């Protein structure tokens, strides 16, 4: 007897519809054949499924069982095929009625006792199920139901075990769909544990971070060890605008696809902060694998990617960041297919001014020779530095600032300034694909960043003295536009341009 079910397979972070066909026919010896490009996790599912069927009180068919996962040319690599395969075997062997079998999509991994385990990518699967015709709902493991229920357009039915799934599909019991609770998730998970008021001193650095957050600009911090670079970077998400529901779902589906969601938290309601170690590989940073999976830059989508000790990273690893920084996406190409992952992140990098870390520090003597400093700085290419809009120096904090009991500028105060500037940009770019000043190309820059004669002369002399590239010229204008937005000024004034030029001076001092 032939049984058919509908399920999904992950391809990157996208869910693709898959039809599970199970044919049970008489044979001399019992045998199970699984076809349709199954990877190791899917091939092993036959053993899990057999024991789950027996331990749930049903019989293992003593016949030839052929399981086909269509389309046959799509690689299948997940344990979420366990539940549909088990249901197909039971329906094909006549141990359960077909009933509602084709009306619902089914996903889920099975334990040996027949209970369900969470499925990776439940959110992406629910989004695809919502676009499918003739689907009455979706059966998912109980622990993944809250995540999938974020998609309100498809009823999500939580399943605790194989027996419960059979009882529902044969009409013996009814199940209540899992409620969405989107507003509750945002209320429960949208708070941060850190605040900029914890940072004493460094008000100049806080101003630069406010500018960076207001225009979504990339930022480079240079300073001696212990000056607070990491502390500042970790607090950057607290001043960025609150995640919108669309951004939250975009980011959550990436974490769901790689199994990085925290237990009991079905939705990311704060902006992600990723800080990979400098020994990370190219594939770990941008994504890769025989079946491509997202890397750190995609996990930082709609959030912050922090690269501490930038010169310690492999130079080739850093160079692969150049294209994602420009495009906001990364494409992983393989022989059979190519996969595009979102990678719209804010880059914050930190480094010491020399190998020992104390070059230019008035309290500590630098032990590095000029050739050592040159080799250290040459690990970072000029094209990558040009893609970072703001460069600031973070000096050591004086004792009087550390011992002062007055709290520093808080994240709430900084976020209020950022939010007003973002609202100005939203009104400016309404109707276009541009969201922030940092996204402006050459033509929008000419349209939205006009300069008077005084500003033109100021920028001309700065470019001549500092040897700035054409890309750096555009970066200065973008940053100046953001500073003007923070001041609620329509024209860009000389003081705005001066501040923007100062944010480009350190790279010329250190990389020339």
pLDDT in the model for residue 509: 55
Alpha carbons 342 and 437: distance in angstroms, whole number:
19
pLDDT in the model for residue 508: 57
Per-residue model confidence as pLDDT tens digits over 299-343: 999 999 999 999 999 989 999 998 898 888 999 987 777 889 999
Alpha carbons 36 and 20: distance in angstroms, whole number:
10
| Predicted confidence band of residue 507 (pLDDT cuts 50, 70, 90) | low
Q: Is the dihedral of CA 252, 256, 258, 262 positive or negative?
A: positive
Work out the percent of the chain whose per-residue pLDDT is above 90. Answer: 64
398 versus 505: which is more confidently predicted? 398
Work out the percent of the chain whose per-residue pLDDT is above 70. Answer: 98
Residue 284 has pLDDT above 90, yes or no: yes
- The kind and range of the H/E element at 140 are strand 137-141
In sequence order, the 6+-apart residues with CB closer than 8 A to the CB of 475 are 386, 389, 504
Alpha carbons 122 and 103: distance in angstroms, whole number:
18
Per-residue model confidence as pLDDT tens digits over 89-121: 999 999 998 878 889 999 999 999 999 999 999
pLDDT in the model for residue 512: 44
Alpha carbons 49 and 52: distance in angstroms, whole number:
5
E-strand ranges in 358-459 read 390-393
475 versus 299: which is more confidently predicted? 299
Residue 226 has pLDDT above 90, yes or no: no
Residue 20 has pLDDT above 60, yes or no: yes
pLDDT in the model for residue 400: 72
Alpha carbons 374 and 355: distance in angstroms, whole number:
10
Do 385 and 510 meet the contact criterion of CB atoms below 8 Å apart? no
Q: Are strands 304-307 and 346-351 parallel, antiparallel or unpaired?
A: parallel
Residue 506 has pLDDT above 80, yes or no: no
374: nearest Cα among 353, 390, 388: 353
Q: Which long-range contacts (CB under 8 A, 24 or more apart) does 1-5 make?
A: 1/25, 1/91, 1/92, 1/93, 1/94, 2/92, 3/87, 3/88, 3/89, 3/91, 3/92, 3/98, 3/101, 4/88, 4/101, 4/102, 5/84, 5/87, 5/88, 5/91, 5/101, 5/102, 5/106
HEC readout, 473-511: HHHHHHHHHHHHHHCCCCCCCHHHHHHHHHCCHHHHHHC
pLDDT in the model for residue 303: 95
In sequence order, the 6+-apart residues with CB closer than 8 A to the CB of 193 are none
53 versus 508: which is more confidently predicted? 53
Distance set, CA 204 to CA 221, 232, 330, 394, 419 (Å): 12, 12, 34, 8, 20
Per-residue model confidence as pLDDT tens digits over 342-368: 999 999 999 998 898 888 788 888 888
Average per-residue pLDDT in the chain? Answer: 90
- The kind and range of the H/E element at 465 are helix 453-466
Per-residue model confidence as pLDDT tens digits over 417-458: 999 999 999 999 998 888 899 989 889 999 999 999 999 999
Residue 12 has pLDDT above 90, yes or no: no
- Mean pLDDT over residues 209-237, rounded? 93
């Amino acid at each position: 007897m032939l049984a058919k079910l509908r399920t999904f397979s992950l391809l990157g972070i996208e869910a693709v519809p898959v039809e599970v066909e199970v044919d049970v026919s008489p044979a001399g010896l019992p045998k199970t054949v699984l076809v349709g490009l199954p990877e190791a996790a899917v091939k092993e599912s036959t053993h899990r499924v057999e024991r789950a069927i027996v331990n749930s009180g049903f019989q293992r068919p003593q016949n030839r069982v052929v399981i086909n996962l269509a389309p046959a040319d799509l690689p299948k690599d997940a344990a979420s095929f366990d539940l549909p395969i088990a249901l197909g075997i039971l329906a094909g062997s006549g141990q359960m009625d077909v009933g509602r079998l084709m009306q619902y999509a089914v996903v889920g991994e099975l334990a040996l006792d027949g209970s369900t385990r969470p499925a990776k990518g439940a959110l992406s699967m629910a989004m695809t199920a919502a676009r499918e015709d003739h689907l009455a709902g979706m059966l998912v493991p109980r622990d993944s139901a809250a995540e999938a229920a974020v998609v309100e357009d498809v009823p999500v039915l939580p399943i605790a075990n194989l027996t419960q799934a059979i009882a529902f599909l044969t009409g013996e019991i009814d199940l209540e769909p899992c409620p969405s609770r989107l507003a509750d998730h945002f209320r429960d998970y949208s708070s941060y544990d850190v605040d900029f008021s914890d940072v004493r001193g460094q008000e100049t650095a806080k101003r630069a971070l406010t500018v960076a957050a207001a225009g979504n600009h990339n930022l480079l911090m240079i300073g001696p060890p212990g000056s607070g670079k990491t502390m500042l970077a970790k607090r950057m998400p607290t001043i960025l605008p609150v995640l919108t529901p669309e951004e939250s779902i975009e980011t959550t589906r990436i974490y769901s696809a790689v199994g990085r969601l925290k237990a009991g938290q079905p939705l990311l309601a704060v902006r992600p902060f990723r800080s990979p170690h400098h020994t990370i590989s190219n594939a770990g940073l941008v994504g890769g694998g025989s079946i491509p999976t997202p890397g750190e830059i995609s996990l930082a989508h709609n959030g912050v990617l922090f690269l501490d000790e930038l010169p310690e990273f492999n130079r080739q690893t850093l160079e692969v960041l150049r294209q994602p920084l420009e495009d906001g996406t990364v494409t992983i190409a393989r022989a059979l297919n190519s996969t595009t992952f979102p990678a719209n992140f804010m880059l914050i990098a930190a480094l010491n001014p020399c190998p020992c870390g104390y070059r230019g520090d008035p309290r500590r003597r630098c032990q590095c020779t000029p050739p050592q400093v040159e080799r250290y700085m040459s690990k970072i290419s000029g094209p990558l530095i040009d893609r970072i809009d703001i460069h600031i120096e973070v000096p050591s904090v004086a004792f009087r600032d550390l011992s002062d009991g007055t709290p520093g500028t808080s994240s709430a105060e900084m976020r209020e300034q950022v939010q007003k500037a973002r609202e100005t940009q939203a009104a400016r770019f309404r109707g276009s694909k541009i969201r922030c000043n940092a996204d402006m190309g050459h033509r929008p820059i000419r349209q939205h960043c006009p300069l008077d004669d005084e500003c033109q002369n100021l920028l001309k002399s700065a470019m001549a003295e500092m040897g700035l590239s054409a890309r750096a010229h555009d970066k200065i204008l973008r940053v100046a536009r953001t500073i003007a937005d923070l001041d609620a000024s329509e024209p860009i004034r000389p003081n705005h341009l001066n501040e923007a030029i100062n944010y480009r001076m350190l790279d010329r001092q250190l990389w020339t």
